[in-house]
A and B are shown apart, each in its own frame.
Chain A
Amino acid sequence: MQKSLLIDPDKCTSCLQCEMACSFEHEGAFNPAKSRIKIFEFEHGRRAIPYTCTQCAEAWCLHACPVEALVRNQATGAVEVKEDVCVGCKVCTIACPFGTINYNQSTGKVAKCDLCGGDPQCAAACPTGAITYVDSDWTGYERMKQWAVKTDNRPQA
């Protein structure tokens, strides 16, 4: 059974532990600016939404890449950036209609959530259960699919 990140904004206190864990895992430094998951605050912090890639089936980023630098990890279902192949053209960053693959100016490559290879550190670090890593059947996947259909530019089956 493939697993997905389940995000429940109602439980988020915007403590930023997820951003810390993500940046430490991927960049080796506690630097929320480099995190692949981002907390957006509303109403002066009274409400917050954690936001990252859902590894969507459409994979706009993957299809837009001119040099095959984005590949689906068959084990985790995550779309991963092959850093040695990415040339830094950034086309994926404008092709992804969710804005969840971003250019990192210090590396000259793009970066996105890779589910930490199957052990997502954001979920491990979240103290309130706002971010959990669960079987895909449980992730409100249908809701997400409904949303994805709205953005889909591709054939409907």
Chain B
Amino acid sequence: MNILEINQLYKRFGDHEVLKGLDMVVPEHSIFGFIGKNGAGKTTTIKIILGLLKADSGSITVCGEKVSYGETKTNRYIGFLPDIPEFYGYMNPMEYLNLCGEITGLSKDKIKAKSEELLELVGLKNDKKKKIRGFSRGMKQRLGIAQALLNEPKLLICDEPTSALDPIGRKEILDILLAAKGKTTIIFSTHILADVERICDYVGVLHDGKLALSGTLSEIRGIYRHNEYMLEFNSETDAAIFEMLKELKQPSIQIERRRNTVKVRLADPNLDGSFLLKILAQKHLVPLKFNVLEPSLESLFIEVVK
């Protein structure tokens, strides 16, 4: 089942058309990395999903229900963590979570139990009676996650949760999100690709108002894999023998040797790794390593955005 479906979403601000027919699907129980350059329209998309901004055209469904601007009925399925969450500084975390819980319509006991549990999860247990105005960015971000998870949402939307944090703060947030994965589906907008590689299983790249790329990380890598292999031999001689084999002297095969490692790129779609393995077997050559080269998310991103 898809938690979120976006169809043909258009949005312009004045002359600037931000979204040009965005289609996006987020399957249940995934961590969906929503990637895009700064200003690509990630936050705009999120605000439209939350009913805070009005789309020019297009439709969005959350858990099968249509989102309409100004009405926030579908938001009962959603937990939202803004990029820089702001709370009432004169309250403490317990009071704030209590307010959120009452607005969501949870019972008193449930709010109390859930608040304790979440403050423990995000590591604010010892600060639960301190006023929020004294909190650091990272602490506010963590409280943000706690409030977003309070109503046990089916969909947790995080808008650049790690962009403003230092490496330790980032790691903490990512760990918390990973821990929350079993309970909810997470959309995670970011431009930090390392974070995506660390925790996401689905990715969507927003570029030029559309989803330029989407799927599971391995699917995407599959599409963009260039059929490249890296073979490492135990001596330079072996590597040189392999490099010179006449079976590999074809225009569709590129070979590159650096000392005892050989990089082979197969441009012919009929050939794959087994072809190389067959040759190795015939020639009684045993490589130390046989690697299928994966494209990095960064190189993919640059290729798509180019």
Genuine A/B complex: no
